[in-house]
Amino acid sequence: MQLYNTLSAEERAELIDQAGKQRLTLSFYAYAKIQDPQQFRNDLFIAWNKLDALGRTYVAKEGINAQMSVPAENIEAFRETLEAYDFMKGIRLNVAVEQDDHSFLKLTVKVRDKIVADGLNDETFDVTNIGVHLKAKEFNQILEDPNTIVVDFRNHYESEIGHFKGAITPDVETFRESLPIINEQLKDFKEDKNLVMYCTGGIRCEKASAYFKHQGFKNVFQLEGGIINYAKQIKEENIESKFIGKNFVFDHRLGERITDDIVSQCHQCGKPCDNHTNCSNDGCHLLFIQCDECNATMENCCSTECLEITHLPLAEQVKLRRGKQVGNKVFRKGKSENLKFKHSGELSDKSLAKANGTKDIRQKIKVKKVLLGKVEHYYTKASVALFIIENNELRVGDKILISGPTTGNEMLVLEKMFVNGAENTIAKLGDKVTFEVPFRVRLSDKLFKILT
């Protein structure tokens, strides 16, 4: 019984390309009492894996929070896996504004203490006593009321590339930080102001609205379905967008465009730009905004220091990271002294430029390749590696990639090889292949052919 991923992101991307079928990116959440989150998690993984559903999901005793990529042809079957549970019957699926088949490349379902890290003690207040849900048209109307205070309950790197006009955008890195800050900042307006809140898909506001009502705010409202649902409604109903810019999303797209306005700058040169990326230095992975020109010059790095590190041999890079807390920081940073044009906190509603169009995130999978096989043996003294061809074929002159967790990603052009013990120029399915490699390989390493 498979309860975990068996393919890498790159391998999954190749399979998606080969399938050539449309996928839908969507998100949903539901608060409910789940007695056995681990069994719930396992049941979901098995059901979704059969449907080729990918994504990132958190489950806890308090409910479920999911962002998914599902083949369009399987969407109804996917909904059935949800509605098998009473608390998810009729659940709203927030379908992404912009679609990309590579938004998620793995299926991850994790058990957590909470589906959103809010730092709140749920026993101290009624989490079901939430604010009034507002649809897009109603939300626009209440924003026009001078008695309204609108608050963005997302993090600094989210609000920087897009936000509602006139919103308070807290300079925070986590949702839990924003709650006491806003409570203190608005303590004198609990009785007479409309506290209107929004977030990406609505889940953060669901808990926050109950918290602020508990804190004594009399008029609490929240955007139903968040920015994702708002964008869908303004398009369907042809109404004005009070949101300006891009909506940050937590998948490989890193953002979906709501309006053509660019409200942020390249963090390195200051040019109008709202494309997030992650530093290519595996010891950094800083999340930052980078324009195409700086991307080419800096090779997707956030600083000259990181650029220099990426040019070091892999063994040296690993040595530099040893003992440091690196891990998965893709969405946990976004601030650095190296980022000269980073903005957070009080943000402008001014458009700096207009976007030319949407980029396909396929470029983020840097090398298109096909899996050939894996290392079967490494002859240390001769620096020769043995492979068995399990897929496709290999020819002398091919550009190849040997990849593994310790080896990293090493590319070379195959100049000479032995096939089943004799020198040859082509190797086919089932053949044993040996050739020299200028680096050490491991049994866990895989052999890919680079596609041009």
Mind telling me the catalytic residues?
Answer: 199
Q: Given the DSSP bridges, would you call strands 132-134 and 219-223 parallel, antiparallel or unpaired?
A: parallel
The token pair at 353 is: 């430029």
Q: How many C-beta atoms lie closer than 10 Å to residue 16's C-beta? A: 20
Q: CA angle, corner 326, sides to 103 and 360, nearest 5? A: 20
Distance CA 44, CA 32 (A): 16
Spell out the alpha helix ranges (H) of 20-125.
37-50, 75-83
DSSP string of 167-230? Answer: -B----SSHHHHHHHHHHHTGGGTTTSEEEEE-SSSHHHHHHHHHHHHTT-SEEEEETTHHHHH
Query: How far does CA 275 lie from the centroid of its chain?
Result: 13
Q: How far apart are CA 425 and CA 361, in angstroms?
A: 36
Closest CA to 172 of 204, 210, 147: 204
Residues 164, 154: Cα–Cα separation, whole Å? 12
Amino acid at 346: E
Q: What are phi and psi of 92, to 5 degrees?
A: -80, 125
**How far out from the chain centre does Cα 138 lie?**
30
For 59, left (φ over 0), alpha (ψ -120 to 50), or beta?
beta
E-strand spans in 317-421?
A: 353-354, 369-379, 384-389, 394-395, 399-404, 408-413, 417-419
